[in-house]
Amino acid sequence: MNNHEIDYTIYGENMQFVEVELDPNETVIAEAGALMMMEDDIQMETIFGDGSKSSGGSLMNRLIGAGKRVITGESLFMTTFTNEGTQKRHVYFASPYPGEIIPMDLSELNGKIICQKDAFLAAAKGVEVGIAFQRKLGAGFFGGEGFIMQKLEGDGMAFVHAGGTISSRQLAPGERLRVDTGCLVAMTADVDYDIQAVGGIKTALFGGEGIFFATLRGPGTVWIQSLPFSRLASRVFAAAPVSQGGGGRGSDEGGIGGLFDIFNR
C-alpha cells in the first residue's frame, strides 16, 4: 500500500459528515473548508498540491501539483490532518450542501476514478488529486464539465460528495447509459464518455432537459446524482425575491424574511 490506511464512519442522511479514524502518524488530506471538527493531537497543516509523491519533492513539483488544482477550479492549497499522538484520534469532514458522501476504495476500482471538478472532499494521504482532460471535443464543449475533470489515483480511500441521492450503476461491456450532463458525478477510468444530441428541434428547445446528453458506455461503474448543485442554485435564485428600489418590498422582506419565504413555498 502506498497510501495511508484509514478507517471511517459516515453519519447522517441529507447533510452528511464523515468521521475518519487515524492511527498514530496517519494522515488524511482534505479540501480547504471541509473540516467540521477534530480531536486533540491532530496536527493541521496547509500544503501545496495534494501531498502525494508526485506532488512532493522539489518546489517545482509542488507548484505543478497546485497548478493542476487551480485548473480544476479548486484552491491552490489543501490541508493535511496528522495524528501526532500515541492513541487513535478522529477528524470530521462535512458535506458542503445537501447530498451524500460516497466512500471509494481506489484499490478496488483499478486505482483510478474520474469525477466532476468540485466532487472531491477528502482522502487518505498518498491519493493523487489531478486533472483529466476530455479527449473528445464534443464532450469537452458540451459535456457539462468542460474539457477538465478531476482524477483521483492511488490505492487508498477517497471521499466524494454529490447532491441529492446517489445511484451507482455497473455497466456491462457495450452497455450504454444516457445521463443529464450535470448529473454525472464520477466514473471508473474504463468507462467511455461522450455526448449525444437530444434529437428534434422541439425537444431540444422546449423539453427542459438541454440540448445534449452524456453517454456512458461500459464496462465500468458510474455514479449519478439526483440533484446537481447548479440545479439547486438555479431554483433558489429563481425563487429569490427581487429587490425593488423606492417601493414594493421592505428591507426586511427582501432580506432575511424573504429568504425564509423561499424555503416555505
Confidence (pLDDT) at 103: 96
Q: Is the pLDDT of residue 152 over 60?
A: yes
Q: What is the pLDDT of residues 8-45, one digit of tens each?
A: 999 998 889 999 999 999 999 998 889 999 999 999 99
Query: Could you tell me how many helices (H) and strands (E) the chain has, helices first?
Result: 5, 19
Instruction: Look up residue 242 and give its three cell numbers.
Output: 427581487
Length reported for the chain? 265
d(CA 68, CA 77): 11
Radius of gyration of the chain (CA): 21
Specify if 244 maps to a domain: no
Q: What is the pLDDT of residues 233-252, one digit of tens each?
A: 777 778 877 655 544 444 44
Specify if 254 maps to a domain: no
Amino acid at 142: F
Buried b (16+ CB within 10 A) or exposed e, 216-244: bbbebbbbbbebbbebeeeeeeeeeeeee
Specify if 263 maps to a domain: no
Strand partners, 150: 115, 131
- Provide the domain count of the chain: 1
d(CA 177, CA 169): 9
Contacts of 90 (CB under 8 A, 6+ apart): 19, 20, 21, 22, 38, 39
Specify if 19 maps to a domain: yes
Cut 0.85: pTM above it: no
Could you give the C-alpha distances from 112 to 150, 164, 263, in angstroms and in order? 11, 24, 39
Specify if 225 maps to a domain: yes
Q: Is the pLDDT of residue 142 over 50?
A: no
Residue 103 Cα to chain centre, angstroms: 12
Confidence (pLDDT) at 73: 57
- Pick 62 or 216 by higher pLDDT: 216
Q: In this structure, how many other beta carbons lie within 10 angstroms of the beta carbon of residue 116?
A: 23
Specify if 242 maps to a domain: no
Run of H or E including 42:
strand 42-48
Full residue range of the structural domain in which residue 185 is found: 7-237
d(CA 167, CA 190): 18
CATH code for the domain of 104: 3.60.160.10
Report H helices in 108-206: 137-142, 201-206
Specify if 81 maps to a domain: yes
